[in-house]
Chains A and B, each alone.
Chain A
């Protein structure tokens, strides 16, 4: 294999596993369980938004009009493209191409930080307008007495998502460090695959968050 070219040690299957296949599968099952719990957590917030949208559609529309869909569109592009590069990183890891794995993860990292930069620009505007959640609210010029609830949802949902972007970026850095210590091969690419799965979840949540908050109403 490509071990000789990189000089990195190959991964050895842990002694409590029969094979690389079994080791990978148990990691993946654990990851699926974790992702399922993540989906349920975001699901609760989506239910909250859906209930609010049904009860107070006018307030939802008023809040939604204060968001800039262009910012959301740029962020959607960043996230989808980083999803692509993470997918390509997994393919490169399976092919044992270390340099390509690193390149793809680094591109993903840049795109993810781009996402956070745009997000913080959006937050700065919201903070300036005083449309903060709960007691911090001092926004003016709103017509619907329920409009502030939209921004409560907006901050909690996008805030939790941004936290996931941050965690995802730390995981990418972990995968980068890992790629310096061990050779990824067709039998061992678990770290890259799991980080890519986590990143796909970040994508998945955004795919619903973006239209719900920015485009509807």
Chain B
């Protein structure tokens, strides 16, 4: 009984069950990481919150790889066409993500007027406290503030 007589590939039950428990474990790791209070460590030479986020998304990436490799059976895919579809899809997604992200995250470094939020009206009424959420001193503030007040009149 060579495998060529039959379509597809029989994925062993142990693989499916094993990857299920691996996924459950990784999900628990992910939740555990997110509950971790990083301020307790008292490390100030690096942004532990950002590091934690990167770590959590990396665990998600590993989970994604397990799902696509074993549950979707990519590991057993032998057809070049299907692999090409998947890999080119991944490459295009990467181009999409990286180019958009690098574009938008460094806007305004050369010309700060790029940061202005033109006609941005927030439905949120910021009344409490100092109302300076990190980025408020940027040129966006003078534009956004009057617009926000004008919004309820409409």
Contacts and interface: CB of A to CB of B under 8 A. Distances in A.
Contacts of B105: 51, 54-55
Contacts of B11: 87, 90-91
Contact of B79 (A25, A90, A187, A188): A25
Nearest to A55: B104
Interface residues of A, number: 72
A134 B55 CA distance: 32
B44 interface: no
Main secondary structure of the interface of B (DSSP, over half): helix
B71 A87 contact: yes
A24 interface: yes
A9 interface: no
Interface residues of B, number: 58
B34 A216 contact: yes
A207 B97 contact: no
Nearest to A46: B97
Interface of B: 4-8, 10-11, 13, 16-17, 20, 23-24, 27, 30-31, 33-35, 53, 56-57, 59-60, 63-64, 67-68, 71-73, 79, 81-82, 85-86, 89, 92-93, 96-97, 100-101, 104-105, 122-126, 128-129, 131, 133-135, 144, 148
Counting from the closest, the 7 A-B pairs by CB-CB distance are A24-B7, A215-B34, A145-B122, A36-B89, A87-B16, A84-B20, A137-B123
Given A21-B5, A47-B101, A188-B7, 17 more contacts: A21-B7, A39-B93, A58-B135, A80-B27, A87-B71, A91-B10, A137-B124, A144-B124, A148-B124, A196-B71, A203-B67, A204-B72, A207-B60, A207-B63, A207-B67, A210-B60, A211-B56
Interface of A: 20-21, 23-25, 28-29, 32-33, 35-36, 39-40, 43-44, 46-47, 50-51, 54-59, 69, 73, 76-77, 80-81, 83-84, 87-88, 90-91, 94, 135, 137-148, 186-190, 193, 196-197, 200-201, 203-204, 207-208, 210-212, 214-217
